[in-house]
Amino acid sequence: MIKHRSQNETLIEVTVIGKDRKGVVAEITNAIFSRGGNIQQISQNVVRGLFGMQLEATFNEIDKKVLDESLLHLSRKLNMEIKIHYQESNRSKNIAVLVSKEEHCLQKILEARKNREIYANLSVIIGTDFTFVQMAKNAGIPYRVVANSKSQEETEARILKLIEEFNIDLIVLARYMRVLSPNFVWRYPNRIINIHPSLLPAFPGAYAYVQAFEKGAKIVGCTAHFITDELDQGPIICQDAFDVLPSDTLESIKSKGRELEAKTLLKAIKLYLEDKLEVYWGRVQIRA
Amino acid sequence: MIKHRSQNETLIEVTVIGKDRKGVVAEITNAIFSRGGNIQQISQNVVRGLFGMQLEATFNEIDKKVLDESLLHLSRKLNMEIKIHYQESNRSKNIAVLVSKEEHCLQKILEARKNREIYANLSVIIGTDFTFVQMAKNAGIPYRVVANSKSQEETEARILKLIEEFNIDLIVLARYMRVLSPNFVWRYPNRIINIHPSLLPAFPGAYAYVQAFEKGAKIVGCTAHFITDELDQGPIICQDAFDVLPSDTLESIKSKGRELEAKTLLKAIKLYLEDKLEVYWGRVQIRA
Amino acid sequence: MIKHRSQNETLIEVTVIGKDRKGVVAEITNAIFSRGGNIQQISQNVVRGLFGMQLEATFNEIDKKVLDESLLHLSRKLNMEIKIHYQESNRSKNIAVLVSKEEHCLQKILEARKNREIYANLSVIIGTDFTFVQMAKNAGIPYRVVANSKSQEETEARILKLIEEFNIDLIVLARYMRVLSPNFVWRYPNRIINIHPSLLPAFPGAYAYVQAFEKGAKIVGCTAHFITDELDQGPIICQDAFDVLPSDTLESIKSKGRELEAKTLLKAIKLYLEDKLEVYWGRVQIRA
Amino acid sequence: MIKHRSQNETLIEVTVIGKDRKGVVAEITNAIFSRGGNIQQISQNVVRGLFGMQLEATFNEIDKKVLDESLLHLSRKLNMEIKIHYQESNRSKNIAVLVSKEEHCLQKILEARKNREIYANLSVIIGTDFTFVQMAKNAGIPYRVVANSKSQEETEARILKLIEEFNIDLIVLARYMRVLSPNFVWRYPNRIINIHPSLLPAFPGAYAYVQAFEKGAKIVGCTAHFITDELDQGPIICQDAFDVLPSDTLESIKSKGRELEAKTLLKAIKLYLEDKLEVYWGRVQIRA
């Protein structure tokens, strides 16, 4: 949801994913240019033979049908997956929440929804097991389990299918404890929000509180950030922190941390839904 | 010197450097596109407020005069430095060699020139002090000293001026012991070759042999690589190595290493001059 | 197997593991000192509340019974696990080989045993599944499966029990694909040998060949090293390498790499069995 | 200033520095044992051939004269520098402040002294140039300049001499912008306090605010910590932080940061002087 457009411009985001081969950048950019688009930002990457490209373009006038057909044609010709995401600010957004075993973040989101603090559709909750099936049922939200798949690839394919099926705008990782591959992440630039239990870039990885405690950090916090293909390195949306007291134990730090995680993640979701987040060269700027 | 072109295509490289501001990517890409160019690769980066963009484009037919004027116009409008580099494979290349205190690499290059192993003009030697003034004189090559400048910025400005003055194609860092800033490096994508005394990515930084020795590495080597804005991380051109013997000391390792550095750097220069290096997504492929 | 002793000295290694508490270092060192020991090297560490200490001491005269009782007493008093390892160079060593799915290293070791290249007892093969049950049977070596345990802790407890049961001197990780915890590693300082598919410290972690290939490394190799509590950072025993050719693919690199891994691991095992490895401040010195 | 002693124990700290050679640990520990000492903590390290050892021991009864002579004898025999530091809590502490170009931290310390907030002797201010000569004069504190030395080694030798001359207990780095070598740092374990402009371990190195700003950190802070031989990795004493507002610029962040640095450094100095800091396995615990 990156925007830097004047009044009458339309912003589109295009993602391209497929087997690496030369000439792809030229084909895609030419298609955009020849339909009247101005390319605002491009990033390309190749990881383990997989090519991914994200492109933002603005149009003064846009013929969606023509553009869609043009890129569909290219998609077939190049044998690559090409998706266009149009900004449609009128309709309310669809959110998918991904969870593993910890409930505090999911619970906070469900409460906020109940209290009408967030204006969006909580379309689906996707879990790695059945832990939250009842909680989802009580809230009247579809619950899908994607774990027990043989491979990460398969698990992610199932999630991707659900994201399509529910026409999801925003993916929230509410203590979802698996790393998402570039093949997943590249498809949703700046539309996957994660909560990490440290003040990133300090203490990335799986043992943030333990490491902060053993390192003797005197301020501990958490970070809501967009996901990129670099683990725990994506654009920071918001951070909150608390002082570690001499009397604190690892357990008391974890407990305070969890409470803060839920608040901070919710804050980030609200900023997103209020359309206040602009990502520019890897940095989030919060609009007034 | 990145090329992936069919017979009749012309490849150009464009570098853009200036104060970061929105809309630059669109302006530049539109200019290329509207003159018939196909964009093959783009990278953009912002470091400490400085914006840098490198772009490669191919043209079936190219009107250099029109393109030059078009980008000159843009340069003034955007207040950014824009340079086009045309591939001219006919004329012999101009090389600048940058040195500090160690002589082994420079000496090897001068010998290779004397023995007509390399077909290129050694246009200028740029040193951080007067150490090699006589060696350059003996070889009949202009020698310029750029050190003692008050700041890195000033030193680099002086080198940049010399690079322009001597119309340099290839910059060789022959144990030049200073880090070059993005402002410098971005101007010469894949045209600055460095020799680093380790098998990168192992042991980056200033103490490679000492670290390898203290770590007890059993194989030690060196790496010739293109320079990028990430220190000691650029595309690897060639690497050579030797076994560490139980009898080796730090001094004997350094001595063997220096000999290898000179050979490996020369090998990389030759590959460059023979037009055998293709950089694709940060990886050097060596053409047969 | 760290030794730096004169003719008539006895070297012992003591490992202490338990819940961190003050005063432990004093208790242990006093016990050594008061039995006539000279402390040659001590390292202590605390990871996630677990305290580990390794100590080497030499004795001109040693009364093993008294020392054993003394440390057994301390072990009970402090509620910590204390083990003494006496150098007994006369009897032939007992080896445990840990494996996962890849066979090339195990196979090489079994061949070397068959060809009487190594003089040691291959006491047990420990696998994460049943893949090599038949291969072990054919070789007449006990095979134990430790996978499918609920937790890393439980898996390691089962391995530790087997190590005790078979009175193992040397643990060989022959492409064992799990990370061992400090609780495991601290018990066998310089007695666990791993083979890693890169020239460490380059490319640690699980994707060494892929990373080397994508980075465009021109020399690829492997490293046999002792395991410490820092992943892929332990003392380097031996390294071997090969040149990457322009025609090499990721698959051909992996294939060449696997062959080299087997050779290099075997070389390290032989050096160990021949008593030629001395570890001194994290660096392996190979005795003539 | 590490203490974990019962009522009547005396704690001493011993530092040993010299050319690496075997047997040193045994010699030193035996000397301690045989004089009645209990070894509480030992760390040893070798960096570039230099051996450093820090040892803490407690004594129920201590004969300082005998111990001093015993270690002096050892020092000559081993040709190593050995220093004993006795805890003398009665006399007021001597502080040396090291500075470069920035004044805010020094100023804060001078104010605190003037306002009698800290009870200690500000014995000497050591600068890399003459910037603060007048400020020191006004405060009536000796000022020494150590810069312009040819080498880091020489500069540090001059500082070490001043530390001896003024019988310094605590060294405060008040934005001293040079890295201290292990040879310096090992001599004063837990007695050199630095202020770093980030919430360590995030953003170590020389560009902390710039990096935090460019990374889009939403919470920025600073860290007072003891110096060890690992740059910006030593035990954390205290940390303070502030929220980055959408309106903040790099300059406003630096400005707020500097104010906080001064406060946080002063807080750390006070905790030290009040004898409230205990370092245990690399972690500072603050006593009530």
Task: Check: CB of residue A85 under 8 Å from CB of residue A103.
Answer: no
Residues of A in contact with D217 (CB under 8 A): 199, 236, 239
ipTM: 0.89
- The amino acid at D233: Q
Residues 6+ apart with CB under 8 A from C17: C50, C51, C52, C53, C80, C81, C183, C186, C187
- The amino acid at B87: Q
Binary contact (A29, B39; C-beta < 8 A): yes
Together in a domain, C99 and C65: no
Task: Check: CB of residue A271 under 8 Å from CB of residue A277.
Answer: yes
Cis-peptide, bond into residue A204, ω within 30° of zero: no
- The amino acid at A165: E
Together in a domain, B258 and B134: yes
Q: Per the structure block, which two tokens stand in for D262?
A: 């001064």
- pLDDT, mean over chain C: 92
Together in a domain, B155 and B261: yes
Chain centroid to CA D225 = 8
Task: Check: CB of residue A133 under 8 Å from CB of residue A204.
Answer: no
The conformation of residue B141, written as its DSSP 8-state character, comes to -
Binary contact (B58, A281; C-beta < 8 A): no
> Which residue range is the domain that position A111 belongs to?
94-286
D1 located within any domain? no
Beta strands C143-145 and C170-173 are unpaired
Task: Check: CB of residue A132 under 8 Å from CB of residue A147.
Answer: no
Which of A214, A230, A249, A251 is the best residue to mutate to test the C interface, defined by the most C CB atoms within 10 Å of its own CB?
A214
With CA atoms as reference, report the closest residue to B216 among C201, C140, C216.
C201
Task: Check: CB of residue A126 under 8 Å from CB of residue A96.
Answer: yes
Residue A218 forms contact with D (CB below 8 Å): yes
Q: Is A232 a catalytic residue?
A: yes
Together in a domain, B115 and B75: no
With CA atoms as reference, report the closest residue to A37 among B34, B26, B70, B38.
B26
Longest dimension (CA), chain D: 65
pLDDT at D44: 86
CB atoms within 10 A of CB C226: 23
Stated pTM of the model: 0.88
The conformation of residue C22, written as its DSSP 8-state character, comes to T
In whole angstroms, what is the distance from residue C173 CA to residue C98 CA?
Answer: 5
Express each pLDDT in C170-192 by its tens digit: 999 999 988 899 999 999 999 99
In whole angstroms, what is the distance from residue A270 CA to residue A262 CA?
Answer: 12
pLDDT at B89: 66
Dihedral angle of Cα C258, C263, C268, C269, to the nearest 10 degrees: 100
CB atoms within 10 A of CB A144: 18
What is each CA distance from D275 to A156, C52, C59, in whole angstroms?
A: 55, 28, 40
The CA distance from A138 to the nearest CA of chain D, in Å, is 36
- The amino acid at B93: K
Residues of D in contact with B214 (CB under 8 A): 46-48
Together in a domain, B36 and B170: no
- The amino acid at D124: V
Residue B4 has pLDDT above 70, yes or no: no
Tell me phi and psi for residue D251, to 5 degrees.
-65, -45
A241 located within any domain? yes
Together in a domain, B38 and B109: no
Question: Looking at A169, A232, A240, A248, which residue is catalytic?
Answer: A232
A204: closest chain D residue by CA: D202
With CA atoms as reference, report the closest residue to A244 among A222, A261, A219.
A219
B48 located within any domain? yes
Express each pLDDT in B58-103 by its tens digit: 999 999 999 999 999 999 999 999 999 987 667 789 999 999 999 9
Chain A, chain D: beta-carbon pairs less than 8 Å apart: 67
Task: Check: CB of residue C173 under 8 Å from CB of residue C185.
Answer: no
> At which of D87, D114, D132 does a domain end?
D87
Express each pLDDT in D147-206 by its tens digit: 766 788 899 999 999 999 999 999 999 999 888 999 999 999 999 999 999 999 999 988
pLDDT tier, B45 (very low <50, low <70, confident <90, very high otherwise): confident
Angle subtended at Cα C232 by Cα C231 and Cα C237, rounded to the nearest 5 degrees = 140
D positions 140-179 inside 8 Å of B (CB): none
Who among A26, A40, A45 is closest to B39 (CB)? A26
Q: What is the mean pLDDT of residues D225-241?
A: 94
The CA distance from D195 to the nearest CA of chain A, in Å, is 14
In whole angstroms, what is the distance from residue C54 CA to residue C40 CA?
Answer: 11
What stretches of C69-215 adopt beta strand conformation (E)?
A: 81-86, 94-99, 121-127, 143-145, 170-173, 192-196
> At which of C65, C87, C109 does a domain end?
C87
What stretches of D68-218 adopt beta strand conformation (E)?
A: 81-86, 94-99, 121-127, 143-145, 170-173, 192-196
Beta strands D170-173 and D192-196 are parallel
- The amino acid at D286: I
- The amino acid at D80: M
D5 located within any domain? no
> At which of C87, C120, C151 does a domain end?
C87
> CA neighbours within 13 Å on the CB side: how many for C126?
25
C287: closest chain B residue by CA: B246
Residue A207 forms contact with B (CB below 8 Å): no
b/e string for D176-196 if b means 16 or more Cβ within 10 A?
beeebbbbbbbbbbbbbbbbb
What is each CA distance from B13 to B54, B287, D171, in whole angstroms?
A: 7, 20, 54
Together in a domain, D75 and D103: no
In whole angstroms, what is the distance from residue C2 CA to residue C279 CA?
Answer: 6
Together in a domain, A59 and A112: no
Task: Check: CB of residue B113 under 8 Å from CB of residue B271.
Answer: no
Dihedral angle of Cα A31, A35, A40, A43, to the nearest 10 degrees: -10
What stretches of C128-263 adopt beta strand conformation (E)?
A: 143-145, 170-173, 192-196, 219-226, 236-243
What stretches of chain D adopt beta strand conformation (E)?
A: 10-19, 37-47, 50-59, 81-86, 94-99, 121-127, 143-145, 170-173, 192-196, 219-226, 236-243, 277-280, 283-286
Task: Check: CB of residue C100 under 8 Å from CB of residue C127.
Answer: yes
Q: What is the mean pLDDT of residues C188-211?
A: 95
Chain B, chain C: beta-carbon pairs less than 8 Å apart: 67
Query: What is the SS3 assignment for C130?
Result: coil
D281: closest chain C residue by CA: C46
With CA atoms as reference, report the closest residue to C205 among C184, C226, C177, C164.
C177
Residue D212 has pLDDT above 70, yes or no: yes
Task: Check: CB of residue D262 under 8 Å from CB of residue D108.
Answer: yes
Residue B2 has pLDDT above 50, yes or no: no
With contact defined as 3+ CB pairs under 8 Å, the chains touching B are A, C, D
Q: Quickly list H helices, C115-179.
A: 133-139, 152-165
pLDDT tier, D3 (very low <50, low <70, confident <90, very high otherwise): very low
Sign of CA pseudo-dihedral B121, B127, B130, B132: negative
pLDDT at D149: 60
In whole angstroms, what is the distance from residue C15 CA to residue C5 CA?
Answer: 19
Binary contact (A219, D218; C-beta < 8 A): no
The conformation of residue C12, written as its DSSP 8-state character, comes to E
B199 located within any domain? yes
CATH of the domain at C74: 3.30.70.260
Residue A117 has pLDDT above 90, yes or no: yes
CATH of the domain at B213: 3.40.50.170
Express each pLDDT in B12-27 by its tens digit: 999 999 988 788 999 9
Query: What is the SS3 assignment for C62?
Result: coil
pLDDT at D47: 81
Q: Per the structure block, which two tokens stand in for B275?
A: 């037009």
Together in a domain, B228 and B102: yes
C2 located within any domain? no
Together in a domain, D53 and D100: no
Express each pLDDT in D112-130 by its tens digit: 999 999 989 999 999 999 9
Total of domains in chain B = 2
Express each pLDDT in B253-287 by its tens digit: 999 999 999 999 999 999 999 999 999 888 999 98
Residue B3 has pLDDT above 60, yes or no: no
Together in a domain, D117 and D180: yes
Tokens 């080597």 -> residue: B221
pLDDT tier, C6 (very low <50, low <70, confident <90, very high otherwise): low
With CA atoms as reference, report the closest residue to A159 among A141, A147, A174.
A147
* Candidate from A239-243, B245-249, D259-263 with smallest mean pLDDT: B245-249
B109 located within any domain? yes
C254 located within any domain? yes
Cis-peptide, bond into residue D142, ω within 30° of zero: no
Together in a domain, B79 and B104: no
For chain A, what percent of residues have pLDDT higher than 90? 77
- The full DSSP string for A39-93 is EEEEEEEEETTEEEEEEEEEESS--HHHHHHHHHHHHHHHT-EEEEEE---SSPP
Residues of C in contact with A251 (CB under 8 A): none
Binary contact (C210, A48; C-beta < 8 A): yes
Task: Check: CB of residue B122 under 8 Å from CB of residue B113.
Answer: yes
